[in-house]
């Protein structure tokens, strides 16, 4: 069993959305296909992934370093004792001749390829990835459904309270019960009006989270914390810069409701620093590392174990990126829940067809692998890549 080719294409995420820090008008993502020599239904098994949203495509680094390292290995170096392709060995092979540190430059291309390898492996095993993960990293049992919340409430070019209200109603009508909206891209007064509008439509303030996208100054962060605290929101996300552990710790001392961060942490060491120096509260704060952006699926499972060793809970890990990759990890490892971006980020912002939301939960689908084949627009992009 061997990998015969790895292909990448940069695709615009085609979003007009804006958060408090930046807009997505130039944003791209890398779609990756890992082709194996295993044949199923008359065709080679191909693993797919993309590098989530918010980090630009990274195909050049793949082509210059990571793909040649994999393809130049002896095939027996990259399989496990059962002769199956081994994501951990492939990860280590990609790390050859990489200098310590500077992870964000490589954790995204490496993590995306590694995630596609897991997709291929699960398809070879003819099982959903969540099933493979539950067996390899747990006792094989899973819950029947996964909690999903909407990451929405973006600042729209045309945005106003009526548009936000319509959006919240649409999500609730679709079966969601928990929603996250942006803050920090308007005045505190206007943001509070947005928050109160959303809460007014929902079952309670603890169903609403807010996301400042690391765009607030320290002074504004404190002002927001004072204004937000009485509402008892579900969480206050990225109140400060992602590596500003000191400010996060200071806020954790005064702001009682949950804080959240992690989508801009790229390796386990960053998470350990957040726990050691960021005042991350094991009993309430939320961790949101993005799987394909942080060295992939295997690194995620290691991180979950480490978080629990440090006194945290997997119930408070909500992976960034509303997509099938995060869904498989949440389902397979029993994490807190999954983000969802209905109608945003073009082909990259949804789940497989037929995954209906009911009372804020989505039932586990049974597509082999990650399940991209059941996302027609996305799978079209992926299949073209493998066939090219």
Is 27 near a second copy (CB under 8 A)?
yes
Stretch that binds a second copy, among 81-89, 164-172, 244-252, 318-326 (CB under 8 A): 244-252
Pairing of strands 43-50, 28-40: antiparallel
Cα(369)–Cα(356) distance, integer angstroms: 19
Catalytic residue (choose from 182, 207, 361, 367): 182
- 25 membership: H or E segment, kind and range: none
Among residues 9, 118, 117, 113, the alpha carbon closest in space to that of 65 is found at: 113
Active site annotation includes 182: yes
Contact segment (CB under 8 A) with a second copy among 98-106, 139-147, 194-202, 342-350 equals 98-106
* 266 vs 318, beta carbon nearer a second copy: 266
First-residue to last-residue Cα distance in the chain: 22
Complex with a second copy: residue 100 or 173, whichever CB lies closer: 100
Rounded to the nearest 10 degrees, the angle between the axes of helix 129-137 and helix 324-333 is 40
- Residue 7 interacts with a second copy (CB under 8 A)? no
Q: Which 3 state secondary structure label does DSSP give 311?
A: coil
- Determine if 322 is a binding residue for a second copy (CB under 8 A): no
Question: What are the beta bridge partners of residue 328?
Answer: none
Shortest Å, Cβ 292 to a second copy: 13
Q: Does residue number 213 form part of the binding site for a second copy (CB under 8 A)?
A: yes
CB atoms within 10 A of CB 114: 28
Site for a second copy in 150-169 (CB under 8 A): none
- Determine, following the binding rule CB under 8 A, whether residue 97 of this chain makes contact with a second copy: yes
Distance (Å, whole) CA 87 – CA 22: 34
**With respect to a second copy, which residue has the nearer C-beta, 10 or 346?**
10
Q: How far is the CB of 53 from a second copy (least distance, A)?
A: 9
Q: What are phi and psi of 204, to 5 degrees?
A: 175, 160
Residues of this chain, 251-280, that bind a second copy according to CB under 8 A: 264-267, 269-270, 272-273, 276-277
**Is 169 one of the annotated active-site residues of the chain?**
no
User: Based on the number of CB atoms within 10 Å of its own CB, is 224 exposed (0-12), middle (13-18) or buried (19 or more)?
Assistant: buried
Is 36 or 323 the residue whose CB approaches a second copy more closely?
323
Strand-strand pairing, 43-50 and 145-151: unpaired
Q: CB-wise, 103 or 373, nearer to a second copy?
A: 103
Active site residues: 182, 320
Which positions touch a second copy (CB under 8 A)? 10, 21-28, 54-61, 64-65, 96-105, 108, 213-215, 238, 241-246, 264-267, 269-270, 272-273, 276-277
């Amino acid at each position: 069993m061997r990998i015969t080719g790895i292909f990448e294409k940069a695709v615009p995420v085609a979003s007009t959305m804006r958060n408090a820090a930046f807009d997505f008008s130039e944003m791209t993502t890398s779609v990756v296909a890992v082709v194996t020599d295993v044949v199923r239904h008359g065709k080679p098994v191909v693993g797919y992934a993309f590098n989530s949203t918010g980090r630009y495509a990274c195909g050049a680094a793949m082509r210059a370093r990571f793909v040649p390292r994999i393809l130049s290995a002896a095939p027996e170096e990259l399989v496990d004792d059962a002769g199956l392709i081994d994501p951990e060995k492939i990860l280590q092979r990609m790390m050859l001749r990489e200098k310590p540190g500077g992870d964000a430059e490589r954790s995204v291309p490496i993590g995306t390829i590694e995630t596609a390898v897991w997709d291929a492996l699960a398809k070879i095993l003819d099982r959903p990835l969540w099933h493979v993960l539950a067996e390899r990293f747990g006792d094989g049992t899973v819950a029947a459904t996964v909690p999903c919340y909407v990451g929405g409430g973006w600042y729209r070019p045309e945005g106003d309270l009526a548009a936000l209200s319509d959006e919240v109603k649409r999500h609730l009508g679709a079966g969601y019960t928990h929603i996250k909206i942006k803050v920090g891209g308007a005045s505190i007064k206007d943001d509070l009006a947005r928050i109160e509008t959303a809460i007014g439509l929902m079952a309670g303030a603890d169903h609403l989270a807010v996301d400042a996208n690391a765009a607030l100054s320290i002074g504004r962060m404190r002002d927001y914390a004072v204004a937000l605290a009485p509402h008892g929101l579900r969480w206050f996300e990225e109140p400060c810069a992602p590596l500003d552990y000191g400010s996060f710790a200071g806020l954790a001392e005064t702001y009682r409701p949950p804080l959240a961060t992690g989508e801009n942490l790229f390796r386990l060491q960053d998470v350990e620093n957040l726990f050691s120096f960021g005042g991350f509260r094991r009993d309430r704060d939320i961790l949101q590392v993005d799987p394909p952006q942080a060295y992939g699926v295997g690194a995620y499972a290691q991180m979950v174990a480490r978080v629990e060793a440090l006194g945290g809970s997997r119930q408070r890990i909500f992976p960034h990126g509303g997509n099938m990759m995060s869904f498989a990890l949440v389902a397979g490892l029993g994490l807190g829940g999954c983000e969802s971006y209905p109608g945003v980020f073009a082909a990259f912002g949804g789940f497989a067809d037929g995954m209906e939301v009911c009372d804020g939960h989505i039932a586990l689908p049974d597509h082999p692998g990650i399940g991209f084949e059941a996302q027609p627009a996305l799978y079209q992009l992926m299949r073209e890549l493998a066939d090219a």
